[in-house]
């Protein structure tokens, strides 16, 4: 921000010499530095070189219209406060200019007081904007540092404790009696679930500040599901729950990050196994229409009470709270929801207590996803 | 009595070194430890181990890799099995991490914590396969 500590720099772009001179006189008297340009191209060039704090642009000019100038500048030089000078109070152009990124408009004829007041307000606005941006950057930086801190300083002790437990079992496991073994195993499980909680929390924070590594490519949902099913089959078998897939043959490609999508499915299938008693069934069905591919994961488990349904995607929320006998952090579904959002997709749930729960994931098909994405840059790295 | 095979462990976490050393000793190996990359390379040169396990993320990202490069560049280090350790997300998006092809050969990438059985089995496999 080269101009802030010194005199604010103001650029006036107008083809009328009288107006340029008039503005210059008024604004210089207020202690601002003023530069002027006669037409668009020259004005934009000058703005790029000198980075003024504020620019006044006349709407009606030969060659390049004020509207075009506003459009280019608000895109290329977003920190500059832009004001459109409109000929005869044309409210339509004023509104258009503001939509295109102008801060305000100034209808001709205007008097020195009006010019002064608007300039002061514009500059205040700019300072506020810069300050907000600085604070936001500071906050992002702190968050990132905190994430790095947590991922190193909290994770390593947990990893080490588990490694010690491994060592303990290895060097003396044979001589432990049943109770000792049980205590050690319980410790191991608790540490592991704490580690998973840290892991989940880190992932969610990374999605939030855009540092979760995601590689969005065109991929087939069927392969994602078969990877997840493969991963979860041993657990289902162990728990005596059957796992069935029903995938339509001709699925269109979707755009996504394979690793995180596999985790979305393993999380949801994992929940289904956790909250479904022995003998239950999990059914995965994938269908598609022209625009969406829909995957539903239905279980025959304990279900979720109606009043708890809206809350299950909230961080740390668990339906049975502290009474929950099954281990978990309540972050699994938060992760799934964030990942689905980052894929322009959706996640919904329906459930009947005692009967079962169905999660429905919707993905826009690739072509569509690309369209939906225009103008919005993906934050993935 | 057969001579014990020598394993070098390089990691900047003392406790991790100690825990892993206990496991390896129980498995019948002679264990050498180094807490930083530089010492690791020196120990490597002086004892010529049969296998080394190197943490990928000591202090700075990449220190593990530079140690790996240096070891591979020594006479004894060309063919010796080397394992890399990573503590990155167990089930995270990085779990598919594989060193890029231009990196010197790594025989295995292991995630922390390592199960004692798995570790001993993989080492035995690697050492008998040669
Ligand atoms: N398929 C399901 N059937 C019944 N209840 C479910 C199901 N899936 C989720 N829930 C409820 O929603 C809550 C939140 O689920 P979520 O996956 O976010 O957390 P969790 O499973 O408790 O822990 P973790 O973070 O380890 O996944 C669970 O605690 C459970 O009460
Ligand atoms: Mg869960």
A273, A204, A197, A261: which is closest to A232 by C-alpha?
A: A273
For residue A105, the CA-to-ligand 1 centroid distance in Å is: 53
Q: Residue whose CA is closest, atom 31 of ligand 1?
A: A319
Q: What is the pLDDT of residue A335?
A: 92
Q: For residue B62, what pLDDT band results from cuts at 50, 70 and 90?
A: low
Q: For residue B5, what pLDDT band results from cuts at 50, 70 and 90?
A: very high
Third-level CATH fold of A9-110: Rossmann fold (3.40.50)
Q: Which structural domain range is residue B52 located in? A: 26-115
A371 has a pLDDT exceeding 70: no
For residue A221, the CA-to-ligand 1 centroid distance in Å is: 23
B78 located within any domain = yes
Q: For residue B39, what pLDDT band results from cuts at 50, 70 and 90?
A: very high
Q: Is residue A241 within 6 Å of ligand 1 at its C-beta? A: no
A314-363 per-position pLDDT tens digit:
988 999 877 777 888 889 999 999 999 999 999 999 999 999 999 999 99
Dist CA A56 CA A97 (whole Å): 12
A31-41 per-position pLDDT tens digit:
999 999 999 99
Q: What is the pLDDT of residue A341?
A: 94
Q: Into how many domains does chain B fold?
A: 1
- Min Cα separation A294/chain B (Å): 23
The verdict on pTM exceeding 0.95 is no
A215 has a pLDDT exceeding 50: yes
Where do the domains of chain A lie? 9-110, 138-209, 217-380
Q: For residue A372, what pLDDT band results from cuts at 50, 70 and 90?
A: very low
Q: Is residue A357 within 6 Å of ligand 1 at its C-beta? A: yes
Third-level CATH fold of A217-380: Heat Shock Protein 90 (3.30.565)
A102 has a pLDDT exceeding 60: yes
Instruction: Give bridge partners of residue A86 from the DSSP assignment.
Output: A107
Q: For residue B100, what pLDDT band results from cuts at 50, 70 and 90?
A: low
A274-305 per-position pLDDT tens digit:
999 999 999 999 999 888 999 999 999 999 99
A127 has a pLDDT exceeding 50: yes
* Best residue of B92, B115, B120, B122 to probe chain A, by most A CBs closer than 10 Å: B92
Third-level CATH fold of A138-209: Helix Hairpins (1.10.287)
Dist CA A263 CA A224 (whole Å): 9
B16 located within any domain = no
Q: Residue whose CA is closest, atom 4 of ligand 1?
A: A303
Dist CA A326 CA A355 (whole Å): 19
Compute CA distances A79 → A36, A104, A112, A116, A317, whole Å: 19, 14, 25, 20, 41
- Phi/psi at A356 (5° precision): 150, 175
B90 has a pLDDT exceeding 50: no
- Closest CB from B20, B89, B92 relative to A163: B20
Q: Is residue A302 within 6 Å of ligand 1 at its C-beta? A: yes
- Min Cα separation A154/chain B (Å): 12
The percent of residues in chain A predicted with pLDDT above 70, rounded, is 94
- Min Cα separation B61/chain A (Å): 12
Q: Is residue A369 within 6 Å of ligand 1 at its C-beta? A: no
């Amino acid at each position: 921000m080269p101009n802030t500590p010194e005199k604010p720099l103001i650029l006036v772009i107008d083809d009328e010499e009288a107006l340029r001179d008039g503005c210059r006189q008024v604004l210089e008297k207020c202690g601002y530095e003023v530069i002027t340009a006669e037409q668009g191209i020259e004005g934009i060039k000058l703005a790029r070189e000198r980075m003024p704090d504020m620019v006044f642009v006349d709407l009606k000019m030969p060659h390049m219209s004020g509207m075009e100038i506003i459009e280019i500048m608000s895109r290329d030089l977003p920190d500059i406060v832009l004001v459109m000078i409109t000929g005869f109070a044309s409210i339509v152009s004023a509104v258009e200019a503001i939509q295109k990124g102008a801060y305000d408009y100034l209808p001709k004829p205007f008097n020195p007081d009006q010019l002064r007041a608007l300039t002061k307000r514009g500059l205040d606005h700019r300072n506020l904007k810069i300050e907000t941006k600085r604070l936001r950057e500071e906050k992002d930086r702190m968050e990132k540092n905190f994430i790095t801190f947590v991922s190193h300083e909290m994770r390593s002790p947990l990893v080490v404790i588990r490694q010690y437990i491994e060592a303990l079992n290895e060097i003396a496991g044979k001589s432990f009696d049943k109770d000792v073994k049980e205590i050690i195993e319980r410790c191991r499980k608790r540490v592991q679930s704490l580690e998973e909680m840290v892991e989940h929390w880190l992932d969610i924070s990374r999605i939030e500040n855009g540092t979760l590594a995601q590689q969005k490519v065109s991929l087939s949902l069927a392969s994602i599901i078969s990877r997840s099913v493969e991963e979860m089959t041993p657990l289902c078998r162990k728990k005596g729950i059957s796992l069935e897939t029903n995938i339509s043959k001709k699925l269109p490609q979707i755009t996504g990050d394979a690793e995180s999508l596999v985790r979305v499915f393993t999380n949801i299938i994992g929940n289904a196994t956790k909250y479904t008693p022995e003998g239950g069934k999990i059914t995965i069905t994938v269908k598609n229409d022209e625009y969406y591919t829909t995957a539903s994961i239905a279980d025959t488990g304990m279900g979720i009470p109606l009043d708890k349904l809206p809350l299950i995607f909230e961080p740390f929320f668990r339906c049975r709270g502290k009474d929950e006998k099954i281990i978990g952090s309540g972050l699994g579904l938060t992760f799934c929801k964030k990942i689905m959002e980052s894929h322009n997709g959706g996640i919904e749930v329906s459930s009947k207590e005692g009967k079962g729960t169905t999660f429905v994931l919707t993905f826009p098909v690739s072509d569509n996803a690309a369209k939906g994405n225009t103008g919005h840059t993906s934050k993935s790295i | 009595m057969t001579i014990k095979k020598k394993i070098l462990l390089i990691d900047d976490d003392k406790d991790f070194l100690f825990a892993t050393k206990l496991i390896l000793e129980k498995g019948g190996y002679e264990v050498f430890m180094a807490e930083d990359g530089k010492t690791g390379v020196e120990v490597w040169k002086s004892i010529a181990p049969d296998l080394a396990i190197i943490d990928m993320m000591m202090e700075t990202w990449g220190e593990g890799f530079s140690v790996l490069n240096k070891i591979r560049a020594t006479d004894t280090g060309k063919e010796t099995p080397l394992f890399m350790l990573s503590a990155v997300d167990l089930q995270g998006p990085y779990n598919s991490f594989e060193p890029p092809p231009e990196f010197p050969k790594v025989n295995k990438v292991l995630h922390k914590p390592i199960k004692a059985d798995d570790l001993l089995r993989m080492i035995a496999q690697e050492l008998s396969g040669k």
